[in-house]
Amino acid sequence: MAGPCVSRRGALNGGAALFAWSFLPRVASAAGARDPRLVVVILRGALDGMSAVAPTGDPDYVALRESIALTTSGDRPALPLDGFFALHPAMPSFARQYKQGHATVVHACATPYRERSHFDGQDMLESGQPHVGPTDTGWLNRALAALPQGDRVSIGGGLGVGLVTPLVLRGPAPVLGWAPPALPRADDAIAARVLDLYTHRDPLLADMLAKGLDTDRLASRAGMGNERARGGADNADGMKAIAAGASRLLAQDEGPRLAALAFDGWDTHANEGAATGRLAQLLGGLDGALAAFEDGLGERWKETVIVVATEFGRTAKVNGTVGTDHGTGTVAFLVGGAIRGGRVLADWPGLKEAQLYEKRDLKPTTDLRAVFKGVLADHLGMPPGLLASRVFPESSKVAPLKGLIG
């Protein structure tokens, strides 16, 4: 694996944790009665967390946000979550799940990254590494690879959604790939002939084609054979279509248990809007996608966790083009039947200039790795030592956030 090297002590600790893991009763329970699903959704472009979940109770909020500030009164009011935070009105499905106790917001959070490059920020978010650097594996794949053989999640494997599997799910563990088809599928006879040709001339490509055909057959059994792409990953129709298809694959008994996908377009430098506008359209698409996952997973929803995260936040102040620039602190969304919800988790730093990070950004007070670790520990039963060594290297000081799973 490229990237920062794990120390010998860290490797030994990870091995010991993995060895001890097989004797933990909790894991036996997770692999027995429970059948969890975990979906990671990456929002590429840096979500404005203070518009998605507005700190309307902070006395400095309105002056900073000016024309894009949300209010809890008037036309299209923000949806109150508690006495301090309010949800963007474009997200009624998430608000319903929040009221039902199956959705949580983590505010003022970020990865360890403190610069403002989309590419580096996304790499650190998805790789789980503590530093910027070349890497070819993601933390979700490393978690999948570390699961005991025979565990339901390990057997089901992962699903990379999109034309390219997101980095968070790339690595040594086997992963299926799926994207909504833009063209009619080839019939079985043609597929068989092409596979036979590749088997004799290019075994590696034949193996990749065979995995793709396996995914196609799984999709057909889920009733998805005639679906077509309806927009991309940066608009409401595309987000909903992608989530609907992925959820039906995850709902299958023989299907994958983990999935990763990415939605684009969150770089709102200009004309961001408040209750309506560009960001509202994107958040509405995300909300529709989350609702599509709930519908498509059916009975599996009760043991599902969806984690929505972005590479960094945006500036606290509005810029000259009525948008926001690259920032630091932002929000993460947790939703699913397995979530212990109805809460906004935030060590709120305040919005006075002296309280802002570098006097311009929402200051992060929660490490996103603590959120990811908390989900992996309580939803998949992974031990902290393994998370700190193999899944998130050099992160022993970042404790899993407890109490996320109901």
Given pLDDT bands bounded at 50, 70 and 90, which one contains residue 181?
Answer: confident
Contact 258, 310 (CB under 8 A): no
pLDDT at 221: 58
Nearest to 95 by CA among 85, 87, 105: 87
Angle, in degrees to the nearest 10, between helices 188-201 and 203-221: 160
Q: Which of 202-216, 340-354, 359-373 has the lowest mean pLDDT?
A: 202-216
pLDDT at 264: 96
- Set out the domains of the chain in order of their start, with CATH numbers: 36-180+229-375 (3.40.720)
Contact 12, 141 (CB under 8 A): no
- Start-to-end C-alpha separation, the chain: 34
Q: Taking the complete model, does pTM exceed 0.75, yes or no?
A: yes
Contact 245, 252 (CB under 8 A): no
Exposure string (b/e) for 21-44, b if CB count within 10 Å is 16 or more? beeeeebeebbeeebbbbbbbbbb
Nearest to 2 by CA among 131, 103, 186: 131
Q: Give the gyration radius of the chain's Cα atoms.
A: 21
Q: Which amino acid is at 80?
A: P
Higher pLDDT, 59 or 4: 59
Given pLDDT bands bounded at 50, 70 and 90, which one contains residue 200?
Answer: low
Q: In what order do the strands lie in the sheet with 86-87?
A: 53-54, 86-87, 79-80
pLDDT at 213: 53
Given pLDDT bands bounded at 50, 70 and 90, which one contains residue 149?
Answer: confident
For 70-90, what is the mean pLDDT?
97
Residue 28 has pLDDT above 60, yes or no: no
Pairing of strands 53-54, 86-87: antiparallel
Nearest to 264 by CA among 85, 76, 47: 47
Angle, in degrees to the nearest 10, between helices 236-250 and 278-297: 20
For 188-210, what is the mean pLDDT?
54
Percent of the chain with pLDDT over 90: 77
- Mind listing the pLDDT tens digit for each residue in 47-75? 999 999 999 999 999 999 999 999 999 99
For 40-44, what is the mean pLDDT?
98
DSSP 243: H
Query: Three-state SS for 52?
Result: helix
Residue 243 has pLDDT above 90, yes or no: yes
Tokens of 166: 């997101």
Per DSSP, helices labelled H in 22-100 are: 25-32, 49-52, 61-65, 92-99
pLDDT at 22: 34
For 285-298, what is the mean pLDDT?
98
Q: Which of 205-214, 264-273, 343-352 has the lowest mean pLDDT?
A: 205-214
pLDDT at 11: 31
